[in-house]
Structure 1
Amino acid sequence: MGISAKEEEVFGSSYSAAIYISRILRLPAPKNKVFVLGETGVEQELQSENVPYIGGTDPAYRREVENSDYTSIADESALDPDVGIVLTGLDFHPSYLKYSLAMAYLRRGAKFLATNIDSTLPNAGSLFPGAGATTAPLILASGQEPLALGKPSQAMMDAIEGKFQFDRSKACMIGDRLNTDIQFGIEGKLGGTLCVLTGVSKKEEFLAEGVAVVPGAYVDQLGDLLG
């Protein structure tokens, strides 16, 4: 689309989680290992920050649960003693085994983090389950809520500001979802927010009376910005 951008200018929620784990949580080794419910993108960001992890795309966790798994998880012999964090993201291969292990780590005191908790994922002109749908079963089973490191978490905003040193008053948040993108910009006290109507949120949602999250402006599609 003619937009000049470099890789180091892209700041995703998986990267935000990796930054939070390595530079803010800074759990002492060896109790700093992460159990991942997610795909290779999460793993790559953890690797970039030298954060150890298990789970994720490892084929050993993409299988049916067996009777012996119940016993080994219950007596903790199947658990890695160094796992101190459970991190959830969008996982295309969730399994009962992964959820059982994640729940066991949380019950043992691991910190519960999520890259983001978006309920849906726009794709191919429709909506599919998002990263929040991966996290939801674990919330229900464990009775715990994760710290989400994606929008609208201001921990993500602080991390971005720390990296890029930008002027918030001169920044505009552009997004297609009110409760993540636009709320992120409003709570972060950015100079403006712009809702694009080609995604999740529709105009009727923020034009109604009493709506808590209202963008400063909106356009039907991103191309409208080209005039």
Structure 2
Amino acid sequence: MTETAPIENWLTDMDGVLVHEGMALDGAPEFIARLTEKGRPYLVLTNNSIFTPRDLAARLSASGIEVPEERLWTSALATATFVAQQMPGGRAYVIGEAGLTTALHEAGYILTDTRPDYVILGETRTYSFSSITTAVRLIKGGARFIATNPDSTGPSADGPLPATGAVAAMISKATGREPYFIGKPNPVMIRAALNRIEAHSEATAMVGDRMDTDVLAGMEAGLRTFLVLTGSTSVDEVERYPYRPNEVRPSVKDLIDLV
């Protein structure tokens, strides 16, 4: 048997691992503080494309978790990195908010509804029929279809909200074109994160609360995976999947000693 490489780098999901509805989960501030104290390269990942890293850093700080903005990796940043590599200096019609539009601007993209190379769909709380109609017409006219993440619903204080995946399905139905999803579970997002911290997959762990995004993405990228039970997936649900995390822990508090 080959010996397991020590964990030198960490990727961790945000919602359901570090925070829940704006409140820090048990052990989250201490886990991030230990990573910082030990000088471990790490990134906090989220499929949410609404907020910029600066916004998210401020939100985490308000909950008592201190994460510098350069340690945040969103599906918006991953999307901007991907399209900039595929087609540098391109043009995109974007449905999304500041997290996505800022990332694309910083990647050198022009945001326009005139002859765009891509239609890029992200998260927003104000999806409009007009913007969706424009997206449908541009895709049928030849624009490539990208979506930041496949999540069909998102959380709110009043219950689930339609999210990027649900709106993407509507556009796909109207166009006959499926989007390329960048966010988790696509290992593209994980590999881009590894490149950002100059980490090798064999020495990196992925911490998440969802089997179908966090654990799947980590597994497909060759990372050691930890499922914590403070978010979406319960211990009973793990058995329904054809793949397994390397370990299941009650919370991120139970990972502090591994840092």
User: Could you tell me the TM-score, scaled by structure 2's length?
Assistant: 0.69
CA contact (8 A) 1:120 1:128 kept: yes
Match of 2:106 in 1: 48
Give runs of ≥4 in structure 1 deviating > 6 Å: none
Task: Give the match's secondary structure for 2:219.
Answer: helix
Once residues 164 and 139 of structure 2 are traced to their aligned partners in structure 1, the CA distance between those partners, rounded to angstroms, is 19
Match of 1:90 in 2: 123
Task: Give the match's secondary structure for 2:117.
Answer: strand
Q: C-alpha deviations, 1:151-182, integer Å up to 9, x for none?
A: 12122233223322202111111111111110
Once residues 181 and 139 of structure 2 are traced to their aligned partners in structure 1, the CA distance between those partners, rounded to angstroms, is 16
Alpha-carbon distance, 1:124 to partner: 4.1
Alpha-carbon distance, 1:125 to partner: 9.0
Q: C-alpha deviations, 1:60-117, integer Å up to 9, x for none?
A: xxxxxxxxxxxxxxxxxxx513x11000111211111111100111011101101111
Pick aligned residue for 2:114 from 60, 63, 80: 80
Task: Give the match's secondary structure for 1:134.
Answer: helix
Matched to 1:43, the amino acid is: T
Structure 2: unaligned runs, 5 residues or longer:
1-28, 37-66
User: Could you tell me the TM-score, scaled by structure 1's length?
Assistant: 0.78
CA contact (8 A) 1:89 1:132 kept: no
Once residues 150 and 169 of structure 1 are traced to their aligned partners in structure 2, the CA distance between those partners, rounded to angstroms, is 21
Match of 2:97 in 1: 39
Task: Give the match's secondary structure for 1:155.
Answer: helix
Q: C-alpha deviations, 1:101-142, integer Å up to 9, x for none?
A: 001110111011011111222344954333212322112211
Residue 64 (structure 2) pairs with residue 15 (structure 1)? no
Task: Give the match's secondary structure for 1:11.
Answer: strand
CA RMSD of aligned residues (A): 2.0
Residue 181 (structure 2) pairs with residue 148 (structure 1)? yes
Once residues 127 and 158 of structure 2 are traced to their aligned partners in structure 1, the CA distance between those partners, rounded to angstroms, is 24
CA contact (8 A) 1:122 1:200 kept: no
Once residues 8 and 196 of structure 1 are traced to their aligned partners in structure 2, the CA distance between those partners, rounded to angstroms, is 24
- Select the structure with the greater relative contact order (CA < 8 A; seq sep ≥ 6): 2
Question: What aligned pairs does 1:1-227 form with structure 2 within 5 A after superposition?
Answer: 1-2=29-30, 3=32, 4=36, 5-26=67-88, 32-54=90-112, 80-81=114-115, 83-124=116-157, 126-190=159-223, 192-208=224-240, 211-226=241-256
Match of 1:63 in 2: none
Task: Give the match's secondary structure for 1:203.
Answer: coil
Matched to 2:253, the amino acid is: G
Once residues 134 and 89 of structure 1 are traced to their aligned partners in structure 2, the CA distance between those partners, rounded to angstroms, is 9
